[in-house]
Amino acid sequence: GDSVTQMEGPVTLSEEAFLTINCTYTATGYPSLFWYVQYPGEGLQLLLKATKADDKGSNKGFEATYRKETTSFHLEKGSVQVSDSAVYFCALSDNTGFQKLVFGTGTRLLVSP
Amino acid sequence: SQTIHQWPATLVQPVGSPLSLECTVEGTSNPNLYWYRQAAGRGLQLLFYSVGIGQISSEVPQNLSASRPQDRQFILSSKKLLLSDSGFYLCAWSTGVGNTEAFFGQGTRLTVV
């Protein structure tokens, strides 16, 4: 079945450092790809998405490009802030019309001042 | 605009007791509805989804059940809780059309003691 693999955390960075969180996927067909963020004690919020190969999703300084050839959707940000500390989930949707999401295990990001 | 409400936010229940978690969506009609669970140290797993009133699909065998008595109401239940039912439960909705994302509630932290 479909699956998503994320890098293990926690990722610990100083403020203004560059962030990369790796995400690769296995899927039949052509999934849509998502990054969700979970702040402490809260539900998930959509951070960005891409629906086809070579699409770049971006939001709040975060970016991720849908790479079909490497089956990857790595999350990047050029300069992180303390407020970016959260758990980040990579996910795919199989586009069957049911929009069932398959999630990675999540990567905790800790940003220190 | 659409909103999703999920309650309660936290719940501590003894083993063997019943469970009822409720989720309602406002501002949309005929949404796809989902229940996900996030167990400690693990990613999110889809438990149930529904594409219409009375239509429930289960993704994994378990001690839980779901019902959709109204178009925008989704209920997660158990007759007798197990310790392994502890986790963070998230309700979500999507439009069911195209490559759209899912929108999540704030979650319920369930601890079975």
Whole-angstrom Cα distance, residue A11 to residue B97? 35
Whole-angstrom Cα distance, residue B53 to residue B32? 10
In a mutagenesis test of the B interface, which of A4, A39, A46, A98 is the best target, namely the one with the most B β-carbons within 10 Å? A98
| CB distance A92 to A33 below 8 Å | yes
Tokens 């940000």 correspond to A77
Whole-angstrom Cα distance, residue B48 to residue B37? 10
In chain B, which residues touch A (CB < 8 A)?
Answer: 6, 32, 34, 36, 42-46, 49, 51, 57, 59, 90, 92, 94, 96-97, 99-107
Whole-angstrom Cα distance, residue B113 to residue B108? 16
- For B83, phi then psi, to 5°, come to -55, -35
Q: How confident is the prediction along chain A (113 residues), in pLDDT tens digits per residue?
A: 889 999 888 999 999 999 999 999 999 888 999 999 999 878 899 999 999 999 999 999 999 999 999 999 999 999 999 999 999 999 999 777 788 899 999 999 999 99
Round the average pLDDT of chain B to a whole number and report it. 92
Whole-angstrom Cα distance, residue B77 to residue A13? 41
